Amino acid sequence: MWRGGFDAGVLPSYQAAFRELEALIATCGNDRRHHFVIVIPVADSPRHLRNCLDSLLEQCRSYAYGLDAHGRFAKITVLVADDSAEASSINRQREIVCAFAEAGIDTYYFGIDEQLALLDRLHDLDLSGIVGKHKRSAFGHKGQGMMRNMIYLRLAEMQGRMSDQRLLFYSIDADQEFRVKVPTVDGGQCPGAVNFFYEVDRVFSDTDVRVLTGKVVGDPPVSPAVMVGKFVADVLAFLREMAGVGPHEAYRQPPVETNGSDDAAYHDMADLFGFNAGELAYRYRCPGDTAPSNADCFVDFAGHLNRFFHGEHPTRVTWYRYTPVPQSVRPARTVYTGNYVFSAAALDQFIPFAPLRLRMSGPTMGRLLQAAMGDRFVSANVPMLHGRTLDETRESEFRPGVWTSEQRVDLCDEFERQFQGDVMLFSNERLVAMGHADARLSREAISAMRDTVEGEMLDRYQLKRATLTDRLEQLRALLHDPSRWWNRGRVELAALQSFDSFIDNVSHNFGADSPCFARIEDVARRDDWRNRQLDAIANLNADREAWEAALQRLRSRASS
């Protein structure tokens, strides 16, 4: 199916072979493979949730993992955890869950009432460093880290009631699907070409792995703040290319097999993560017609520019590359919190520092997992399809820290959480090397390391801003050059307005007078972040003790 590129014609036979295998397993009985509990936190995103669950149902029907004689997928359980604040979203998401439960998969809704009741059962334990402190009357929008930690407490209860099962907990995001994205001439397709449950079960059955993480394909799993430099370089290269060709000439499409496929190609600071930080610009692939005109591609590209602020990267899509899953297993150091699987023995590992609501929580957690588990924490080639934006709105349904109006996208809150998340990540990476994962370091040692990292990150961010500001000036001058064909009536005015809007939003959020940079340069704000981060790091071992006490209580109550 993958020889020479994806052959869609073989996929039905591939899936049919697995359904035949499952029928034989069901006939033999005594299926001792893993039972998957799929965890999906959702916040005011009913359309994303529906798409995610639809893809799960398609995955189950295509490969029939654990399908029993009664037509139920007996080895799949779904837990949808609602972190919404809007009553309309809560009602719609509850309805979606109820409808999905009728499709042959045990599905449960873990709403705000259920979450509060669970915390009430643990009221005498100090879990504030793990799940935070929240008003009961405003319990939505806690953030993905705290929400996931609360879910894991619920999983401990479920584990007590399902002690006869070999459980695996599969944590995903609502804006992901059980599909992969493969490059094609017409812009790519998203088939259900990976038997996720079968492959993951094999890894956990054949090894002593406790935590397995996949990646994502499609839209990058990061903030625009860390990929804006690469994208502006691509936009500038696009306009320069357009300046050298005629509007009615055929657009020169980039090769299908190389467009955006490199690991972390979207990341401005890929070198910090061990990837090649090349400066090569990536070219945009116009979808549909294999030979659109330059003017047509100009308009099409313009329509994608402002989707970038909602998480799409039009020039650096991540594609799925086939490698047999067993051969792809490698020691890991980053958790993709929207795509990782862990055994019941790994429930003692919560998402650290969640109440700070920092970005980069997955890489930070990964460094601590690496120290605690070594080679039992792995990555494998089981990426899920990630789609930040909806086609009908060109925006995501809900993203914390992103504020939009008719003309402006403000990313300052997300930008600040990204910067401080980078500080927290690389501080912990160095602290782990100093032994903080296993022993208590002094607050002075932690503070000195954190301040050193903060200074380094601030220098990097400011250098990136200087480069970006220069590119924006070049981009603005080229766009408004009256001699260029796009300024002589060869494209619709709306396309030019999209370019202008993009430049304005990049400048506002990341340029010379950016209020977002003013936040991370403000001494008082940095002092407040420092104190909160130092408290969180210093209290990590106490949080672990409280977490273990909570797990023991919930497991024992559920099993009694």
Q: What is the predicted pLDDT for the residue at 269?
A: 76
Per-residue pLDDT tens over the stretch 411-439: 999 999 999 999 999 999 888 888 765 55
20 vs 12: CA distance, rounded Å: 12
Whole-model pTM: value is: 0.91
Per-residue pLDDT of the chain (560 residues; tens, 9 = 90+): 998 889 999 999 999 999 999 999 998 888 899 999 999 999 999 999 999 999 999 999 999 999 988 889 999 999 999 999 999 999 999 999 999 988 889 999 999 999 999 999 999 999 999 999 998 888 988 989 999 999 999 999 998 788 778 999 999 999 999 999 998 877 788 999 999 999 999 999 999 999 999 999 988 888 888 889 999 999 999 999 999 999 999 999 888 765 445 566 777 676 676 666 566 888 898 887 568 999 999 999 999 998 898 888 888 888 999 999 999 999 999 999 999 999 999 999 999 999 999 999 999 999 999 999 999 999 999 999 998 776 665 566 566 666 676 678 889 999 999 999 999 999 998 888 887 655 567 888 889 999 999 999 999 999 999 999 999 999 999 999 999 999 998 888 999 999 999 999 999 999 989 999 999 999 999 999 999 999 999 888 899 999 999 999 998 876 66
Q: What is the predicted pLDDT for the residue at 226?
A: 87
The residues with which 82 forms a beta bridge, in sequence order, are 42
The residues with which 140 forms a beta bridge, in sequence order, are none
**Alpha-carbon torsion (451, 444, 366, 389), positive or negative:** negative
If DSSP codes are grouped into helix, strand and coil, which group holds residue 134? Answer: coil
Q: What is the predicted pLDDT for the residue at 277?
A: 59
Is 49 in contact with 40 (CB distance < 8 Å)?
yes
Q: Name the amino acid, one letter, at 169.
A: F
Is 532 in contact with 417 (CB distance < 8 Å)?
no
Say how many residues make up the chain. Answer: 560
Q: What is the predicted pLDDT for the residue at 545?
A: 94
Q: What is the predicted pLDDT for the residue at 399?
A: 65
520 vs 522: CA distance, rounded Å: 6
The residues with which 167 forms a beta bridge, in sequence order, are 35
185 vs 165: CA distance, rounded Å: 45
Ordered strands of the 176-177 beta sheet: 176-177, 384-386, 216-218
Q: What is the predicted pLDDT for the residue at 279?
A: 66
